[in-house]
Amino acid sequence: MGEFVKVAAASEIPPGEMTIVDVDGQEVAIANLNGEFVAFQNECTHRGGPLGEGILMGDVVECPFHAGQFNVRTGEVVNAPPSEPIATYAVQVEGDDIKVEKP
């Protein structure tokens, strides 16, 4: 397992919300799925839309550019136009610290 780095405070991301953090120069989106935190590549695989600024619906994120959709747990494409999955990253929560495995 890789190295985990602290990226955010759990108390700053309410359920159903997302935030974008920088992990070693790479943008990673963190989403709060009703108390469970997941981390995934911020950049949409279609044309690079910022997924963390999109819409979170359950465990699906909709890209703000062309409404492509991904499952944020698995990274799989749920709805075109993207055809390639996004990367997902392991998350650890310790107290109020959210830690993400380095990409």
Residues found near ligand FES in the complex (CB under 6 A): 44, 46-49, 63, 65-66, 68, 81-82
Q: Is 29 helix (H, G, I), strand (E, B) or coil?
A: strand
* Minimum distance from residue 95 beta carbon to ligand FES (Å): 34
Taking the least distance from each CB to ligand FES, the nearer of 88 and 98 is 88
Taking the least distance from each CB to ligand FES, the nearer of 80 and 90 is 80
Q: Are 102 and 3 in contact (CB under 8 A)?
A: yes
Taking the least distance from each CB to ligand FES, the nearer of 81 and 103 is 81
* Minimum distance from residue 10 beta carbon to ligand FES (Å): 27
Nearest to 90 by CA among 68, 73, 76: 73
Report angle CA 15, 21, 22 to the nearest 5 degrees. 165
